[in-house]
Amino acid sequence: MALQAPPLSFPEALKPGRVVGGGRAGVFPPPLPGAAATMFSCVKPYEDQNYSALKRSCLRRKVLFEDPHFPATDDSLYYKGSPGPTVRWKRPKDICEDPRLFVDGISSHDLHQGQVGNCWFVAACSSLASRESLWQKVIPDWKEQEWDPEKPDAYAGIFHFHFWRFGEWVDVVIDDRLPTVNNQLIYCHSNSRNEFWCALVEKAYAKLAGCYQALDGGNTADALVDFTGGVSEPIDLTEGDFASDENKRNQLFDRVLKVHSRGGLISASIKAMTAADMEARLACGLVKGHAYAVTDVRKVRLGHGLLAFFKSEKLDMIRLRNPWGEREWNGPWSDTSEEWQKVSKSEREKLGVTVEDDGEFWMTFEDLCQYFTDIIQCRLINTSYLSIHKTWEEARLRGAWTRHEDPRQNRSGGCINHKETFFQNPQYIFDVKKPEDEVLICIQQQPKRSTRREGKGENLAIGFDIYKVEENRQYRMHSLQHKAASSIYINSRSVFLRTDQPEGRYVIIPTTFEPGHTGEFLLRVFTDVPSNCRELRLDEPPRTCWSSLCGYPKQVTQVHVLRAVGLKDSPTGADSYVIIKCEGDKVRSAVQKGTSTPEYDIKGVFYRKKPGQPITVQIWNHRILKDEFLGQVHLKADPDDLQALHTLHLRDRNRRQSSDLPGTIGVRVFSSASLMAV
């Protein structure tokens, strides 16, 4: 039966992972205390523009900076269509008196969405503003960049911001000319007319995208990753049935709480399945096709006084913000609902509950799972050994889907639906070295800029499959192995998968949905211990100058030891393991403790120069002082032997007589004269 990759049949603007915003206003959450920004990568100047050098040059020449790479023209506004009303590019000093980067600090309440439909970006900014350590990375040297009324000559009309793009932090330089109509900012703007941090961050982000119009319709997850360097995990609340499954919902809340408490950013949305649904307001006050920022996650204590403390009844709660700055949830636990009487005054003050139509509201996590369809978590992956929290080991590799007429060099094979080309895709191998480990895998395609000539850069539909392979595999896969996990296929910039896998070796095959598409990608693999992740480049053992002297493999054999039955018994059962030996190469399984019927499920692949010599499979009992031999079998592993599954009696090591030992072993064998058969 053919394996199927999920079909893509969504309207372009409504594909999963894509939230299209409207032309309304947006806002933010109060800042939380945080450590000074600490990031671990060097920052690369975007388009080779050095902020410090450019600023020094402007101050020396006593001119205000004008950015030649993102000029104050229609090309920076649109990649198609006409601009409509006359747009005038103005510097903050020409828009208001006493312009400032921040007025009374940074807050989620600063921000309002403008005429471009980028609620997804505004929602991400809402989350960013609540994390001091993160916004200070995105807005570096903010005190130095702030206007200084006492030193007007120190101002050069130049700003810079940091974003994480495709595996590295980039420093984006802009001038301070902003698009206006009737002296009003037409895009992102603050509550305070003289506060400009959000408008300037948006301009720098539009420069990365190619123009402002390129921000019309996008993915909150992309912005969250660009602000943090983390990995985004989309969660489909409907498909996961979290609304009705209390255990799954409680587990998800604990995960969301952990991501939030460790500095991650989160957003939520209600999927719009038709164009008519876009920004449709539901009776409960929520809006479809709209990105909401999650600004707090709490277990809220119910009751009053000491009784509440000792009773310790808590409710899973979550706070969200509508980027429009208005139109809130009107159900249970909304601003004016009677449910708040169940919470003490001190608890309400701690939560910052306000009765205002400011776009921010609380709801239970159960209601969120009932009314929302999607959550995006942006995890900040901790790789510091000095941390008290879980530390991940990261493997980061760059790759590409490339076309070539030679099938052995082609690397654009498409998904598993295209079996004739699937194994031509790039392949990456990694090891799980614990009995079981949580593995995080993220693949991100190279972002595309929007230009008038090429239009908006659309993402390819991408995904990946993970296969459990032989413990000693060193060369590329050419046939299907056991599929351990697979991601969705989606036209998102990045695809993420969290999976628990047993000890062993695995191959990741990242693909585009259709064959023949080309593009660069970044693969990130996170495990608890180093995974030795690397690309598999060779199809088979290479021929060298020694091949004529030492010989070259004539046959490939894959040995799969499934299980054993009836091993030599003991009061506690055997602590057995398997060793597969072939021409000096060997593979050893993990120990299966306390059983006379162990399930080994271990594979080895061997490139045999002497196919006439048998392959030996031995079973040993693990002992503290000296391991005990339990028996062995010899496999001829001839390509002509069509009986793939063998059940063989264990023998001792005396070759002069074939005395059977207790137990049988189940082995599956495949051999071929073609070295690219497995």
Catalogue the active-site residues.
Answer: 119, 290, 322
| 189-190 and 599-608 beta bridge pairing | unpaired
Angle of CA points 6, 539, 535, to nearest 5°: 65
Name the CA radius of gyration of the chain, rounded: 30
Q: Which long-range contacts (CB under 8 A, 24 or more apart) does 54-58 make?
A: 54/158, 54/173, 55/156, 55/158, 58/156, 58/157, 58/158
Place of tokens 């007429």: 405
Q: Which long-range contacts (CB under 8 A, 24 or more apart) does 147-154 make?
A: 147/98, 147/99, 147/100, 147/101, 149/98, 153/59, 153/62, 154/59
Compute the Cα dihedral for 50, 51, 57, 60 and give only its sign.
Answer: negative
Give the Cα separation of 315 and 363 in Å (integer).
10
Nearest in space to 138 (alpha carbons), one of 216, 200, 220 = 200
Contact 325, 358 (CB under 8 A): yes
Whole-number Å distance between alpha carbons of 678 and 670: 9
CA atoms within 13 A on the CB side of 398: 7
Distance CA 180, CA 202 (A): 14
**Alpha-carbon gap, residue 292 to 284, rounded angstroms:** 15
How far is it, in rounded angstroms, from Cα 381 to Cα 528? 12
CB burial of residue 285 (10 Å; 0-12, 13-18, 19+): middle
Q: Kind of pairing, strands 178-181 and 184-185?
A: antiparallel
User: Which residues are CB-neighbours of 74 under 8 A, at least 6 positions away?
Assistant: 83, 87
**Nearest CA-CA partner of 126 in 371, 350, 378:** 378
**Cα separations in angstroms, 626 against 471, 477, 576, 622:** 25, 37, 13, 8
User: H/E/C letters for each residue in 45-75?
Assistant: EHHHCCHHHHHHHHHHHCCCCCCCCCCCCHH
Which helix (H) or strand (E) covers residue 368, if one does? helix 365-371
The full DSSP string for 305-330 is: HHHHHHH--EEEEEEEE-TTS-----
Are 288 and 279 spatial neighbours (Cβ–Cβ below 8 Å)?
yes
CB 57 within 8 A of CB 162: no
